[in-house]
């Protein structure tokens, strides 16, 4: 029963970079985060100072909701950085600035979907499009279906067996 709840979060090591300088951190891959990518407010302030970057104000304010529907913080700005995930670089990625709590960065559902990334939850890893096998509906037309009768060996003919003895 203790395995029904709790355990490790789906953490993904990432790098955030600008002008050839990077810093490493962990992010949470979260398909329940109904947005692109999020960065914790305090962490964003530190990175903006470190990289000498300015925040970009959004033309609107967006009030977030928690997993339970409770109102969350307001998102009104982004910080744009280069993002490295599994050795892959994504340039000029806007990170929505909000208070996150225990995770400095969240890779959200919309960004994961846009990159066509699948989550291998059992092995705690991201599955990239190049790592997946081709879908069955694509592979099936390439198959030649052979009837079982073709694979069955014919019964031996006595005249062919005569020279064996």
Q: DSSP string of the chain? A: -GGGS-----EEEEEEEETTEEEEEEEEEETTS-SSEEEEHHHHHHHHHHHT---EEEEEEEEEE-TTS-EEEEEEEEEEEEEEETTEEEEEEEEEEE--SS-SEEEEHHHHHHTTPEEETTTTEEE-GGGSPPPHHHHGGG-----HHHHSPPPPPHHHHGGG-
pLDDT digits (tens, 9 = 90+) for 44-68: 999 999 999 999 999 998 888 776 7
Cα–Cα nearest to 29, from 45, 48, 8: 8
128, 86 contact by CB (below 8 A): yes
Look at domain 2-129 and name its CATH class: mainly beta
Q: What is the pLDDT of residue 119?
A: 93
Confidence of residue 135 (pLDDT cuts 50, 70, 90): low
pTM: 0.76
Task: Collapse the DSSP code of 17 into the 3-class scheme (helix H, G, I; strand E, B; otherwise coil) and give the result.
Answer: strand
pLDDT tens digit sequence for 141-150: 666 677 777 7
Residue 113 structure tokens: 């979907």
Rounded to an integer, the average pLDDT of 37-42 is 96
Assess contact for 27 and 38: CB atoms under 8 A.
no
Domain boundaries, the chain: 2-129
More confident site: 101 or 109: 109
Q: What are phi and psi of 14, to 5 degrees?
A: -135, 170
């Amino acid at each position: 029963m203790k395995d029904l709840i709790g355990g490790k979060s789906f953490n993904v090591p990432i790098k955030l970079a600008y002008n050839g300088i990077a810093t490493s951190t962990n992010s949470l891959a979260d398909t329940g985060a109904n947005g692109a990518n999020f960065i914790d407010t305090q962490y964003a302030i530190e990175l903006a100072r470190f990289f000498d970057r300015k925040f970009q104000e959004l033309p609107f304010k967006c009030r977030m909701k928690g997993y339970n529907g409770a109102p969350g913080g307001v998102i009104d700005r982004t910080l744009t950085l280069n993002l490295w995930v599994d050795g892959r670089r994504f340039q000029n990625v806007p990170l929505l600035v909000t208070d996150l709590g225990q995770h400095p960065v969240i890779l959200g559902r919309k960004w994961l979907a846009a990159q066509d990334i699948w989550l291998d939850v059992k092995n705690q890893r991201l599955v990239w499009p190049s790592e997946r096998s081709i879908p069955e509906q694509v592979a099936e037309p390439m198959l030649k279906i052979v009837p079982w009768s073709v694979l069955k060996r014919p019964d031996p003919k006595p005249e062919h067996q005569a020279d064996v003895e």
